[in-house]
């Protein structure tokens, strides 16, 4: 099964909770009126699109319907998918990792699947021919380095790790040095799971980024926040606070297959203006793939 089919399958819960109800809604109306838009508003909010983003979608939809003179409610679905696509396409979803080496720093709270995401990301990049090196910068969580080591073996890439409790900055320094010496294309750095309220951990994260900038001046660097899609609007708040502290360049949405609230992807792109770079729709090592907005919307509506 190709990734698009897995994406469709993974978004099944969101589709059942949103797209199928949208179809039912449009077929139940014989004309386009304010009652239809009110019902659609409720559906969007239930799918965790968020109030602000829902209002923007409805405004765009009303404008398109008026501009094109649409009178058939069944034709509104196509306009809805176009409006959502426009929102998702406002941000550049491509990864900027063209220098050798480039660095990806992965951040997030505990429990979102951060280390697993890094492993899957390494699998993706080694699969397209990049020489990847992992940095086990989460030195606080018991067995975090061992878990990442297992993924390094699966992805057939190298790993730099220190003993538990070691200085994360020292791990990142050694990883960057090794990447330069060994001709690696990409360094993917794990970091300790942290809440935005933990000032010392956020300062440690800033230190890690300073080390990378000092040792690899001019190198492409992505700072990606891993979010659990099942947390809905809480993911939006996390993105806002981590962005304030670290200057995020992108988001990774995991566990989209386990939620009916996949609409949070649209909310994040609209309210935070941070691009979604990867999405995960399953447990297999190749179930994390670069985010393509058209594929996401097509999987949601087909």
Domain residue spans of the chain: 3-88, 102-292
Among residues of the chain, what percentage have pLDDT more than 90? 52
For the cut 60, the answer to whether the pLDDT of residue 197 exceeds it is no
pTM greater than 0.75 (yes/no): yes
Q: What gap in Å lies between CA 14 and CA 135, rounded to an integer? A: 35
- 79, 81, 150, 185, 288 from 143: Cα distances, Å: 49, 44, 11, 27, 23
Note the pLDDT tens digit of each residue in 110-151: 888 899 999 999 999 999 999 999 999 998 887 889 999 999
For the cut 90, the answer to whether the pLDDT of residue 282 exceeds it is no
For the cut 60, the answer to whether the pLDDT of residue 196 exceeds it is no
For the cut 70, the answer to whether the pLDDT of residue 1 exceeds it is no
Per the model's pLDDT, the better-predicted residue between 15 and 274 turns out to be 274
CA 299, 300, 301: angle at the middle one, nearest 5? 95
CA 131, 136, 139: angle at the middle one, nearest 5? 175
- Report pLDDT for 111: 81
- Report pLDDT for 69: 94
Considering only 8-22, 41-55, 204-218, 231-245, which range has the smallest mean pLDDT? 8-22
CATH class in words for 3-88: mainly alpha
The whole-number average pLDDT for the span 89-97 is 92
Reported as type and span, the H/E element at residue 160 is: strand 158-160
Q: What gap in Å lies between CA 155 and CA 147, rounded to an integer? A: 13
Q: What gap in Å lies between CA 220 and CA 250, rounded to an integer? A: 13
Superfamily of domain 102-292: P-loop containing nucleotide triphosphate hydrolases (3.40.50.300)
Contact 49, 259 (CB under 8 A): no
- Report pLDDT for 285: 79
Note the pLDDT tens digit of each residue in 198-242: 667 778 888 999 999 999 999 999 999 999 888 878 888 889 888
For the cut 90, the answer to whether the pLDDT of residue 23 exceeds it is no
Residue 295 CB partners (closer than 8 Å, separation 6+): 4, 7
N residues, the chain: 302
Per the model's pLDDT, the better-predicted residue between 195 and 160 turns out to be 160
Per the model's pLDDT, the better-predicted residue between 192 and 83 turns out to be 83
């Amino acid at each position: 099964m190709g990734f698009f089919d897995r994406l469709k399958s993974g978004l099944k819960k969101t589709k059942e909770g949103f797209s199928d109800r949208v179809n039912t809604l449009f077929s139940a109306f014989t004309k386009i009126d304010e009652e239809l838009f009110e019902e659609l508003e409720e559906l969007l909010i239930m799918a965790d699109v968020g109030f602000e983003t829902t209002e923007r979608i409805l405004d765009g939809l009303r404008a398109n319907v008026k501009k094109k003179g649409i009178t058939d409610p069944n034709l509104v679905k196509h306009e809805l998918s176009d409006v959502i696509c426009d929102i998702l396409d406002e941000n550049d979803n491509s990864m900027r990792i063209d220098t050798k080496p480039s660095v990806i720093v992965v951040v997030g709270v505990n429990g979102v699947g951060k280390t697993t995401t890094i492993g899957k990301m390494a699998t993706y990049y080694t699969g397209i021919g990049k020489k990847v090196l992992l940095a086990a910068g989460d030195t606080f969580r018991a067995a975090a380095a061992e878990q990442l080591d297992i993924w390094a073996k699966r992805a057939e890439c190298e790993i730099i790790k220190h003993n538990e409790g070691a200085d994360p900055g020292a791990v990142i320094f050694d990883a960057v040095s090794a990447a330069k010496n060994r001709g690696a294309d990409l360094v993917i750095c794990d970091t300790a799971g942290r809440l935005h309220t933990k000032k010392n951990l956020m300062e440690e994260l800033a230190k890690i980024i300073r080390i990378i900038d000092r040792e690899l001046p001019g190198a492409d660097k992505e700072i990606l926040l891993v979010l659990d899609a099942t947390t809905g609007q809480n993911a939006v708040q996390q993105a806002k606070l981590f962005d304030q502290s670290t200057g995020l360049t992108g988001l990774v949405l995991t566990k989209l297959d386990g939620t009916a609230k996949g609409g949070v992807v649209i909310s994040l792109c609209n309210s935070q203006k941070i691009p979604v770079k990867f999405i995960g729709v399953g447990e297999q090592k190749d179930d994390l793939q670069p985010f393509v907005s058209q594929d996401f919307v097509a999987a949601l509506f087909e």
